[in-house]
Structure 1
């Protein structure tokens, strides 16, 4: 694929039985705004983002990732992408059509190589957003999502081949080999990444804060409210972004971050960063040790939604 038809990350949609507790966490603690829905589906926006919503919660008997959604510039690009995907044998959930979710638009859904549902859309209505104020510790936007895969090399190759993502950097752990690949669809170092895991699942969803002070204040709010911290606060080397990872009420890992690196497409060359170097793990040296326990918290539960389209 020569053209870069994917422009940006739009939203991540998750389902769970404990719906009300999940909604209360994301709106009452995490800092998102409930902008609509019904008793079983709620759409949550970031005050600093023009996206109509960045997280969709759905009540379901089973915990699953419903889908991850990306943007395209025009409906014609959605059609072109769908034509190429179908021609390459990719299983479409539905052909390009008018979307019935909040914000509307025109989009196509399909299964990636691991069985996740991916949506690409254009013409979605924007929302009136605002500048996040100094010391206001709420997300500006959805920064990136990371997925676990038992066959990560094949998953990375799928996204590069079919969706035109570019590899920014790779992480490895000494002789144990490579375990995370950062992919970009625009100037941000990564909007999507793939981690090696024991099964397919959501690894984490990351939310951009206004700056370092807001990031630390948000992290502190989680700690004061007894939200389980997985890892942080610290600063990654690959991507150069800050990190504080927590568990939401149903065990998904969510991250506060800021200052994700911008990449010059004309000069950037991917590197392999070895986490046996402590400064690669955390430039600041402030985070708790990255050990097997921390890694296992982000393995998450086996995704029950593989190759099964969500009902909405």
Structure 2
């Protein structure tokens, strides 16, 4: 079992076709305290129901984050959108799956408990919202040129580049990662039962599997370099737990403005701002108030069925093209 066995190409007539991630759900003991953090992070409250707060971004999904009232902090799973009702019905056949139920944010949902005991959800029938991007907070860039009369290299003319500070709006949930109890079993599970395919496989210095970045395989159509990943335990990142959830923002300028805003609010930064190797995203990781990792990202790679799988051998600390070194999770 494992990556080299290529479970994503194995014949499975009941393989569930996913379109992409929708939202994540976390349990928090203090919802109002969490609400303050999430709105500072750039999420917008959509509605409240049954001791839970549902948040959206400015993208088309009606929900990107669900905060539920729980006695202790816990990860309650990630939600992916099925291509149709037939795929939702296929999801009920996966080991660990429950029945089709109503989803509070609309449509229907199936919960699956994966081999590590982590909830994974498949949803269908969501009513999409209008795409409402924020007004651009920056001006075009001026680049070096032999002359200032070059309007192509220097398009910003007579306009000043002065940006508004504050909360940076989130677009969507881009990806989520899990720490597997058994790496090969979890990898096989997700690639056999769903249309996940590796984009990059990260190997440690000894050649062992550290992490596999998975994209939703849509054939010739492009999708993000990874919308899901499976990782080995590392430090505080223990098996059966989430790694992090990542939310897209609209620009690199936004990354730095958001970083400064969260810093000034006194929140705890983990890693960033920098640019990843795998996926190329500009990243900025933060701890939420209950110790979960969340990320702002922008400018990620797109792949399709013609993109070759990358096999990358590196030290765990070398996770970026530029930016601060990866801190140790002890």
Q: Which residue of 2 aligns with 1:225?
A: 265
2:71 matches 1:61: yes
Q: Is this contact kept in 1: 2:46–2:55, CA < 8 A?
A: yes
Q: Which residue of 1 aligns with 2:132?
A: 130
Q: Is this contact kept in 2: 1:205–1:255, CA < 8 A?
A: yes
Write 1 or 2 for the structure with the bigger share of helix.
1
* TM-score normalised by L of structure 2: 0.80
CA distance in 2 between counterparts of 1:277 and 1:230 reads 16
- How well do the aligned residues superpose, as a CA RMSD in angstroms? 1.9
Displacement of 1:23 after TM fit?
A: 1.2
Q: Is this contact kept in 2: 1:134–1:214, CA < 8 A?
A: no
**Which stretches in structure 2 are left out of the alignment for 5+ residues?**
1-11, 138-166, 218-222
CA distance in 1 between counterparts of 2:46 and 2:60 reads 13
* TM-score normalised by L of structure 1: 0.84
Q: Which residue of 1 aligns with 2:62?
A: 52
Q: Is this contact kept in 1: 2:16–2:87, CA < 8 A?
A: no
The runs of 4+ residues in structure 1 deviating greater than 4 Å are: none
Cα distance change on mapping 1:78 and 1:277 into 2, 3 Å = closer
Q: Which residue of 1 aligns with 2:310?
A: 271
* Matching of residues 195-274 of structure 1 within 5 Å: 195-197=231-233, 198-265=238-305, 267-274=306-313
Q: Is this contact kept in 1: 2:103–2:109, CA < 8 A?
A: no
CA distance in 2 between counterparts of 1:158 and 1:164 reads 11
Structure 1 window deviating more from structure 2 (2-11 vs 179-188): it is: 2-11
The one of 190, 194, 205 equivalent to 2:226 is 190
Displacement of 1:4 after TM fit?
A: 5.7
2:283 matches 1:281: no
The structure that has the greater radius of gyration is 2
Structure 1 window deviating more from structure 2 (115-124 vs 248-257): it is: 115-124
Q: Is this contact kept in 2: 1:31–1:139, CA < 8 A?
A: yes
CA distance in 2 between counterparts of 1:74 and 1:59 reads 31
The one of 96, 120, 124 equivalent to 1:91 is 96
2:110 matches 1:79: no
Equivalenced residue count is 280
Alignment deviations for residues 272-308 of structure 1 (CA, whole Å, 9 cap, x no partner): 2233397x52212x22x224x2x34xxxxxxxxxxxx
Q: Is this contact kept in 1: 2:56–2:65, CA < 8 A?
A: yes
Q: Which residue of 1 aligns with 2:154?
A: none
CA distance in 2 between counterparts of 1:23 and 1:138 reads 15
